[in-house]
Structure 1
Amino acid sequence: MKKHFNIIIAGAGGIAEAVSLILAEWSDVTPTLYIGDRSFLKAKKVAKWVEEGTTKPCTIKAFNLDEKELTEEMIAIFQQGDIILDCLPGSASPRIAQFAKDFKLHYANLTEYVAETEEIIALSKNADTGFLLQTGLAPGYINLLAHELFRKFCNDYKVNSVHTLEFKVGALTKHAVAPHYYGFTWSPVGVATEYLKATVVLRDYVKTTLPSLSERAEIIIDGITYEEDLTSGGGADLPHALSGKVCRLDYKTLRYPGHYAWIEKQIKKIDVAASKIKELQYKMQEVIPHIEDDQIVLYAAIQGRDIEGVLRRREIAKTILPQKIGNHLLRAIQTTTAAPLAQAAQLLLEGKHRGVLLQSHIDSAAFLNGFFVSRVYGKL
């Protein structure tokens, strides 16, 4: 970013850390950062961590983001801000988005939660500022990559529709052990949620809803065998935007073989009356460790016939590893999620956007080759 901005970051977790450091270290003009969390101590800890991690002078202020009240401190900071980057759990996103609307701030978030996204779409319709939603890794980068594949395929082969558009992401450890064949690299509640909530897909060109974990298959990427299955939220708005143009479209999550079978066993043990998401989260956390040394594996492919009837397929696969930014080594899940969020901030702050911006509304080629995104993912 080439001008000075006041950027408010809601949350003090791993992605808040990463986007704060990326903005401090990589912006042409270093912004002033306000880091807010319900725990002031956590916010203060992140602010100190970023100050120690950046090689540039940067003003970083921690504040208490109260869960229930709109405090005088919050009002003062919102009045000074230019944008809110929402790194809180998806359940909190409508409240933060409402603050953005009320104080005429731009807003960007990461959540894959469908109901909360629809709520923000409704509240942002008559907003004076831009609301860019679901702009992390998945949903986020992977949707733009898939949309760009579709655009180029149709342009190059002079067609208006294709048979298959598939896109997949795995936030994985480098090794996996029985019985779960997994390690947490991000939020356990996020994992449980995407496994249990329904997913939106295209089947026979029509948008429809399917249960998550209902279409398991094997896939080989760069010579390594993974399992893929439907999970919630990763499709963003592409099923709506490409309805009638793609016969089969879906987002799937990549895992090592054996993981999904173990998950199915845990789900079957949950009492019918129980909160399934909380119970699955608890069962996973009992035995699955958190692992720092991670990798992101992503894959997108499109298949269809060209204007002469020849069957064509295009594929893109990437593996992203941890990356040093400033004085800190960030995990792959941090950089791949935070870089698109930083790119979203630049798009909103340097543009004239009003109301909601979904993945299909964005110039995918420009975003994918943007300054922040390309330094993590490479050029398209």
Structure 2
Amino acid sequence: MREILLIGCGKIGTTIARMLAKTHDYHLTLADLSTQRLSQLKSLPNIRATLPLDVSDPQALDRAMQDKVAVISALAYPLCPTIAQAAQRNKLSYYDLTEDTEVSTHIAELAQSSSPPQIFVPQCGLAPGFIAIVAKHLAEQFDTVDSISMRVGALPLYPTNALKYNLTWSTLGLINEYCQPCQILQDGKLHSVPALSELESLSIDGTRYEAFHTSGGVGSLCSSLLTQARHIDYKTIRYPGHRDLIRFLLHDLKFESRRGLLCELMENAIPSTEQDYVLSFCNVTGTKEGKLIQLSDARKIYHTQLDGKHLSAIQFTTAASLCAVVDLTQLAPTPNQSGLIHQEDIPLTDFLKNRFGKYFELGNTESAQVTQPSAIIASN
């Protein structure tokens, strides 16, 4: 049994706890500021302990990490560096879900001083995360790669407000994605473009959507494929009109400089929902045997039930992706593995064979319904 510390028992953290606990391969210590959240998870199997924890207390954080092999951060991105630093000094492997590029860069620097079997695996969610695994897999089918386009969105099934959106994960993380610069690869060189820029329209299964640049979703793929591709970009999918309203809030009303207030306003005005679905689309063009070809991967994943608990699609896919990565690196580690592991380093075939990664399989009927959209058309 692997001893794991999971910090953060919100929607995603709770789902991670439920998924890992039922495997009987992990002993979990669950930590959170909220004793109420912890009390709701005590009855899960293989829970070693529940621990009220303030991660700003370094001594308490170090004590929580004693006798553990790994720590998972399911907290908001600003708290991840503190946990990663504690993992480094306590010789634990580290996993998180952060989309923030500065945080990921900091964690990559920490990983440089690690030694086997300690590893650092940031960005283990859906995007960044699974989408980079898919992109790398498609790119490997080509002799030369021209462009990689990644499009991902978590959308309510029944949008009713002007934003046509419901809160399904970290509001602070959502706002951060809408504000921070976005990395792309253009003509073989790294560039930064503004969030919310380069709006495009899409039609998927007869439904109209829009997509635009947001920060973090590309993960480390641009750097990993710097010498192998000409163009790489990532955009978030939303219902039409969403981008313009968000830009009005952030730029015209200047909430970009008052993110805490905007977070409070959104959480008091926009309800959350578990009735959602995730769209994941990756398109790669390049040459193979002298011919210009295109390969695509498209998945539509709906909200689901897990052990009688209703889960939103974004909650389910994010947690399942992280759990698959933990499984692949903790139960079947590569020899002498250490340091930083990028999501795109994980083979898609291994991911989909995993007991958690299989939830992303097309046609899967054991959990969330995963279908392949019948048509995807994009135009700038």
What TM-score do you get using the length of structure 2 for normalisation?
Answer: 0.88
Counterpart position of 2:37 = 42
Give the aligned residue type for 2:121. Answer: L
Counterpart position of 2:344 = 360
Counterpart position of 1:190 = 173
Moved more, 141-150 or 356-365: 356-365
Provide the rounded CA distance (Å) in 1 between the counterparts of 2:232 and 2:265.
31
Kindly state the Cα deviation for residue 58 of structure 1 after the two structures are TM-superposed. 2.7
Give the aligned residue type for 1:205. Answer: G
Structure 1 residues 143-192: Cα deviation after superposition (integer angstroms, max 9, x where no partner)? 1111111112x1xxxx22x2221111111100223421111111211111
Q: Equivalent residue of 2:168, what SS?
A: coil
Long gaps (5+) in structure 2: 365-369, 371-380
Asked if structure 1 preserves the Cα contact closer than 8 Å seen for 2:70 and 2:94, the reply is: yes
Counterpart position of 1:211 = 194
Moved more, 163-172 or 324-333: 324-333
Give the aligned residue type for 1:9. Answer: L
Counterpart position of 1:174 = 157
The structure 2 residue matched to 1:20, chosen from 10, 17, 25, is 17
Cα 1:202–1:43 shift into 2, 3 Å: same
Query: Is residue 331 of structure 1 aligned with residue 312 of structure 2?
Result: yes
Give the aligned residue type for 1:215. Answer: E
The structure 1 residue matched to 2:71, chosen from 84, 103, 107, is 84
Kindly state the Cα deviation for residue 46 of structure 1 after the two structures are TM-superposed. 3.6
Counterpart position of 2:374 = none
Kindly state the Cα deviation for residue 134 of structure 1 after the two structures are TM-superposed. 0.5
Give the aligned residue type for 1:100. Answer: A
Moved more, 180-189 or 132-141: 180-189
Identity of matched residues, %:
29
Structure 1 residues 38-87: Cα deviation after superposition (integer angstroms, max 9, x where no partner)? 23333333434xx2xxxxx4334210222322345x44441221211110
Counterpart position of 1:238 = 221
Asked if structure 2 preserves the Cα contact closer than 8 Å seen for 1:164 and 1:302, the reply is: yes
The structure 1 residue matched to 2:297, chosen from 307, 313, 316, is 316
Cα 1:30–1:243 shift into 2, 3 Å: closer
Counterpart position of 2:248 = 265
Kindly state the Cα deviation for residue 278 of structure 1 after the two structures are TM-superposed. 2.8
Long gaps (5+) in structure 1: 52-56
Structure 1 residues 327-371: Cα deviation after superposition (integer angstroms, max 9, x where no partner)? 322221111001111112122223142111112333333224322
Q: Equivalent residue of 2:58, what SS?
A: coil
Provide the rounded CA distance (Å) in 2 between the counterparts of 1:59 and 1:259.
41
Give the aligned residue type for 1:372. Answer: F
Count of residues in correspondence between the two structures: 359
Give the aligned residue type for 1:185. Answer: T
The structure 1 residue matched to 2:122, chosen from 127, 130, 133, is 133
Provide the rounded CA distance (Å) in 2 between the counterparts of 1:14 and 1:303.
37
Q: Equivalent residue of 1:239, what SS?
A: helix
Counterpart position of 2:8 = 11
Counterpart position of 2:378 = none
Counterpart position of 1:99 = 86
Asked if structure 2 preserves the Cα contact closer than 8 Å seen for 1:270 and 1:279, the reply is: no
Kindly state the Cα deviation for residue 22 of structure 1 after the two structures are TM-superposed. 0.8
Counterpart position of 1:54 = none
Moved more, 135-144 or 98-107: 98-107
What TM-score do you get using the length of structure 1 for normalisation?
Answer: 0.88
Asked if structure 2 preserves the Cα contact closer than 8 Å seen for 1:83 and 1:345, the reply is: no
Moved more, 170-179 or 223-232: 170-179
Kindly state the Cα deviation for residue 372 of structure 1 after the two structures are TM-superposed. 1.2
Provide the rounded CA distance (Å) in 2 between the counterparts of 1:373 and 1:102.
31
The structure 1 residue matched to 2:354, chosen from 356, 370, 375, is 370
Counterpart position of 2:323 = 342
Provide the rounded CA distance (Å) in 2 between the counterparts of 1:9 and 1:346.
14
Moved more, 363-372 or 4-13: 363-372
Provide the rounded CA distance (Å) in 2 between the counterparts of 1:248 and 1:43.
45
Provide the rounded CA distance (Å) in 1 between the counterparts of 2:188 and 2:258.
32
Structure 1 residues 84-131: Cα deviation after superposition (integer angstroms, max 9, x where no partner)? 111011111111111211221111111011111111111121213011
Give the aligned residue type for 2:131. Answer: I
Give the aligned residue type for 1:44. Answer: S
Asked if structure 1 preserves the Cα contact closer than 8 Å seen for 2:149 and 2:232, the reply is: yes
Kindly state the Cα deviation for residue 231 of structure 1 after the two structures are TM-superposed. 0.2
Give the aligned residue type for 1:192. Answer: I
Cα 1:7–1:67 shift into 2, 3 Å: closer
Cα 1:195–1:271 shift into 2, 3 Å: closer
Query: Is residue 33 of structure 1 aligned with residue 36 of structure 2?
Result: no
Provide the rounded CA distance (Å) in 2 between the counterparts of 1:47 and 1:171.
30
Q: Equivalent residue of 2:150, what SS?
A: strand
Structure with greater proportional helix content: 1
Give the aligned residue type for 1:343. Answer: A
Q: Equivalent residue of 1:246, what SS?
A: coil
Asked if structure 2 preserves the Cα contact closer than 8 Å seen for 1:7 and 1:81, the reply is: yes
Asked if structure 2 preserves the Cα contact closer than 8 Å seen for 1:145 and 1:368, the reply is: no
Asked if structure 2 preserves the Cα contact closer than 8 Å seen for 1:266 and 1:283, the reply is: no
Give the aligned residue type for 2:58. Answer: L
Structure 1 residues 275-319: Cα deviation after superposition (integer angstroms, max 9, x where no partner)? 2433443453454221221111111111223333x4321211111
Kindly state the Cα deviation for residue 377 of structure 1 after the two structures are TM-superposed. 4.0
Counterpart position of 2:279 = 297
